[in-house]
Amino acid sequence: MSTHHFRFLFVVLLLPIAMLSQNPPTADDPATTIPPGNGATRCIAHGAPEPVWRSNVDDALNVDASVDIKAVNKYECGIASLLNHEEFDLLDEIASQARSGKSRFSGGTWKLSAFYESLEHPPGADPEWPHHIQKLEDWKTHKPESVTARIALAVAYTAYGWDARGGGTADKVTEGGWRLFAERTAVAARILKEASVLKDKCPHWYVAMLDVALDEGMDPADEESLFQQAIAFEPLYDPYYRARAWFLLPMWNGEEGEVEEFADKTATKIGGQEGNILYFEIAAQLACPCNGFDVKRLSWKRIQAGQAAQQEKYGVSLVKVNWLAKLAKSFSDPAVGEMANAQIGENWDEDTWKSRKLFDNFRSWVANYTGGQKMLRDFNKLAKANLETAEGKEYHAAVASEVPQKLAWFVEQCSSAADDERGSFDLLMSVQGDGVVLMAYVEPYNTKVGNCVQSQMARETITRNSPLYLSPPPKPNYWVKVRMQVKP
């Protein structure tokens, strides 16, 4: 009998499934982190009549993040509008209530964090930094004992420094950019020092100081001491952990493996749902091609547990479902991507994906998986129907003994390559009338040893002595499923 050129046929037939295990970078992947905000929207017009803008602000401060993808952004625009209209007393009242009540949006985002982020930059597409800084200075003058006003001003000065520096690498920053960056960061540090002696305290003071610590190149030991003070003040304020994780990246001040260790120790120390939630928040912060960190070095299982815990405890956030979807793509887990995609619907988050094209790429990836799963369900039905016949039971018994023996070398080699992974997987196979394996699928698809065995099978050229030459089935193109055990 002639030799079968199995490799080409196998790969073509498995292309929809094989694609699921790959996550090639795209040319337009953004070099930015996943931010805690949720998509740009036009802020309330400054010149609107008072009843109009005040009504709009009231609406913006009470938007539901479980149904509105731009809820946090609308809240931030509402806060920015209050500053623009010099509603300083009301701003202090809102911040005070957010602090004392530890208020969160649906999905767990702290309203206090969103409050300060809304004042970090001038609103609108064309930044007017001097005007924005002056508004915050006026607030501080009007309310000299307001810790909120000083933190907001310091946060803005830090961002103002980055506006001068630019977001490029150090070698691309001009001398003038460095000078203004240092001057404005120093102003932020001074303002925060002044705020530290005020009667009222605010957890976001530490976030602002951690940002200054990064920008001024604080000694790592001193930064860690500052972080420990922060979490002693408010253990569950997630911006602390995101700032610390960023500081520990090798591109800044950390060593290889340090940020992963930090995320794991944080989740373990906090424990339970809140520990896993913080792990998810850290992962979302780090899921960025801009920082040189491979997010797959984190635990995908724990990330999923954190997002599930967050939904259970704090409700749904459409933005954070988008985060999960993007992380699922990074971890090549289309099953989770499919579930996230169903929740997202048309509520894609611009800050997460950066472009509709990237989101559509994700959806195509999910659709490919969905189609593959339907095909596998159909093939499984055929295998099950075959097993219900007398001849099918007899053939299954034969190949259930034959296949593990013939593929033993593949399994042994693949087990070693997969760090001695243990367990089992199924091989769903279509066998030609002469006994040649025409197609083979691994279930579950994400089994390391199973995927390796599948790849080895795809490389095999079939002869009479090939392990892919089985006993002839009762009829051609016969579907059968065999359990493969990975033994110690």
pLDDT at 217: 92
Helices (H), 166-203: 175-195
Distances (CA, A) of 312 to 98, 249, 308, 416: 22, 30, 6, 39
Q: In which residue are the tokens 């197609």 written?
A: 439
pLDDT at 106: 97
pLDDT at 107: 97
Rounded Cα distance, 167 and 431, in Å: 57
pLDDT at 486: 82
Tokens of 24: 């090639």
DSSP state of 122: -
DSSP state of 104: B
Residues of the chain short of pLDDT 50, as ranges, are 1-42, 44-46
What angle do the packed helices 204-216 and 220-233 form, to 10 degrees?
Answer: 170
The rounded Cα 71 to chain-centroid distance in angstroms is 19
N-term to C-term CA, the chain: 38
Rounded Cα distance, 339 and 410, in Å: 33
Distances (CA, A) of 211 to 37, 158, 238, 427: 17, 8, 14, 52
The rounded Cα 92 to chain-centroid distance in angstroms is 33
Tens digits of per-residue pLDDT, 421-441? 667 899 999 999 999 999 999
Q: Which amino acid is at 424?
A: S
pLDDT at 48: 54
Tens digits of per-residue pLDDT, 101-159? 999 999 999 999 999 999 999 987 667 899 999 999 999 999 999 999 999 999 999 99
pLDDT at 84: 92
